[in-house]
Amino acid sequence: MTITKQKICVIGLGYIGLPTASLLGTKGFQVHGVDVTPSVVDTINQGRIHIVEPDLDILVKSAVGSGNLRAGLEPVEADVFILAVPTPFKDDHQPDLSYIEDATRRIAPYVKPGNLVILESTSPVGTTENVVAKILSEEGHKIGDEVFVAHCPERVLPGRILTELVENDRIVGGIDEKSTAKAIEFYNSFVRGEVLATNARTAEMAKLTENAFRDVNIAFANELSLICDEQEINVWEMIELANRHPRVNILQPGPGVGGHCIAVDPWFIVAASPKHSNLIRMARKVNDSKPDWVVDKVRASAKKFKHPIIGCLGLSFKADVDDLRESPALGIVRQIHKQQLGELIVAEPNISAHDEFDLLPYQEVIKRADILLLLVDHKEFRGLKASDLKELVLIDTRGVVR
Ligand code: SAJ
């Protein structure tokens, strides 16, 4: 059997699963995607998509059109199973592994000797072995002899997923050497980046470390933004200048850190090693407290008006996506609404409607606002000029207005 004829079953058709499934479909694999939401399954089977991601619509249409991608509510037999389900945390910041447990139980009846099971979901150290391999073993599979299990953490950046799926280097950590070798062979068949071998625990920790690294660095930028505000220094100009040093590369301050990854994954490290994760925990706290600081700024400005109209630009967690998960922008807008700081008007160009807030075209928000709160650096807002916004109080949390 040649590798391109392999059957792949992808569990979870979200921001990682759907791009992966459709990419594999266009590379000649026969892909069956599984999701728990019937409307998602129907949309994909019509060759359409339920999320915003550049060029994903074209890829899904092509994969479904060629007959290589089908979606369903139930898994099917396959050569390779890819688990791409969410790994959120619970109220106490402990990881919630229930989606991985469920997905593993659901594929278990369809797994056969010779199959490879890959966990792509970002996971706490030990999950591949103690959850996925363990459940499959309890369901009667001979792990390591007949069924192979590996972790290959996804690393793609929303907004650039299709490029990064192919171009990024990948880390592959099997629960044993045979599992690692099988998974490497699979990824080498469609990844142009280098595929690097390790064990499952190191792969798990490497992925958590990547996101914690970014979180700590953003926390540094966010802390600088508070210091510079107090010292009446433009933090973005200052960072640009400091970054001209050959060994300094500071990230950008913002209204806080959102999304399903960077705001979540560092907690998995803290949960496993609470005694030794002071910096990582503190970075999370710095980033999580930034939205309150922004709301305080809005409150202070609102006091200068009798009936302030507060215009908010952006709701998503970052630029040019429709994803509202853990979005600091959405949290800030909710607080402004809850604290009744003024009349609220909102624009989010990537979303057609929102169940809590009426959305207006951004030009109208700019025209009507007394206070303009820029929360997301969407491409529509990047050309805004301070000279055109002189009439209003501008709170630019992303430093895009020049
Ligand atoms: N942000 C800033 N300042 C910056 C960079 C980002 O405030 O300088 C904010 C963003 O606005 C956003 C949050 O951080 O709210 C996270 O955005 P992001 O673009 O840094 O990352 P994600 O969450 O979209 O994707 C990350 C990526 N990880 C790294 O870059 C180390 C991606 O490669 C991972 O695959 C993804 O997490 C994931 O799924 O884990």
70-94: pLDDT as tens digits: 999 999 999 999 999 999 999 899 9
Q: Is 50 exceeded by the pLDDT of residue 169?
A: yes
User: If you average pLDDT over residues 197-224, what whole number do you get?
Assistant: 98
**Span from the CA of 240 to the centroid of ligand 1 (angstroms):** 20
- Averaged pLDDT of the chain: 96
How many angstroms separate the CA atoms of 82 and 103, rounded?
10
User: Can you give the pTM of this predicted structure?
Assistant: 0.95
Structure tokens at 171: 């880390």
User: If you average pLDDT over residues 113-129, what whole number do you get?
Assistant: 98
Is 223 in contact with 287 (CB distance < 8 Å)? no
Does 275 participate in catalysis according to the annotation? no
DSSP secondary structure string for all residues of 244-265: TSTT-------S---SSSTTTH
343-354: pLDDT as tens digits: 999 999 999 999
How many angstroms separate the CA atoms of 251 and 238, rounded?
12
**Span from the CA of 325 to the centroid of ligand 1 (angstroms):** 12
User: If you average pLDDT over residues 171-177, what whole number do you get?
Assistant: 98
Who contacts 390 (Cβ-Cβ below 8 Å, separation ≥6)? none
Does 152 participate in catalysis according to the annotation? no
Residue 53: its pLDDT value, please? 87
By most ligand atoms within 8 Å of CB, the mutation choice from 165, 211, 265 for ligand 1 is 211
Active-site pick, 207, 290, 312, 318: 207
Residue 2: its pLDDT value, please? 47
Is 214 in contact with 284 (CB distance < 8 Å)? no
**Which residue's CA is the nearest one to ligand 1's atom 22?**
157
User: If you average pLDDT over residues 306-319, what whole number do you get?
Assistant: 97
User: If you average pLDDT over residues 177-184, what whole number do you get?
Assistant: 98
Active-site pick, 9, 261, 290, 318: 261
Q: In angstroms, what CA-CA distances link 117 with 181, 230, 328?
A: 13, 52, 35
How many angstroms separate the CA atoms of 117 and 127, rounded?
13
The residues lining ligand 1, judged by C-beta closer than 6 Å to any ligand atom, are 122, 154-158, 210-211, 214, 218, 251-252, 254, 257-259, 261-262, 317-318
Residue 91: its pLDDT value, please? 87
15-59: pLDDT as tens digits: 999 999 999 999 999 999 999 999 999 999 999 999 888 899 999
Q: In angstroms, what CA-CA distances link 100 with 82, 107, 134, 135, 326?
A: 11, 11, 12, 10, 20
